Amino acid sequence: MPTTRETILAALHARLQPLAALVLRDAVLPERIPPSGLIILRDGQPGEPEVTLSPLRYHYQHRAELEVVVQAGTGRAAAFDSLIASVGAALETDRTLGGLCDWVEPEAPASVDLPIEGAASLKAAVITVVLHYTTTGPLA
C-alpha cells in the first residue's frame, strides 16, 4: 500500500496529465522539448512536520517542484506564459487533490532563459507547489 506522500504526489502528477505539455515525474531533461512544452514533477522534500500528540499526527508542508520548460521560436514567451497559466488553472480546479491534501498552493515562478548552442533557447522556471497534508507517522 503506498504511503500518503506517494499517493499525494501521484495525484498531483495525474492532475497535470491533461495539460497540453508532456508531463513526467522525476525524469531527466530529454534532448528534445515537445512543441507544447515539458513539465517535470520533482518529489521535493516534506520538511519537518508539526506534531500533535492526541491523537498522534504529523502535519507536513511538503515542497514539490515543477520544472516547466518551453523551447519555441518566436512565440516562446507566449507559449511559456500559457503553460504556466494552465498549470495554475489545473491546480485551482481542486486544491485538495480529491481530499488527499488539506491544501495545494503553488508559488510564483522565477523564469530564466537558457541558451542552447545551435538551437532555439529554452525558457524555463521552477514552480514550488506546497502540499499541506497530515499523516499518522513520518513513514506513513
Work out the angle at residue 67's Cα, subtended by the Cα atoms of residues 105 and 138, and round it to the nearest 5 degrees: 55
pLDDT in tens, 19-71: 999 999 999 988 889 999 999 999 999 999 999 999 999 999 999 999 999 98
Q: What is the pLDDT of residues 97-108, one digit of tens each?
A: 999 999 999 999
**Domains in the chain, please, with CATH?**
4-135 (3.30.70.1700)
Instruction: Give this prediction's pTM.
Output: 0.93
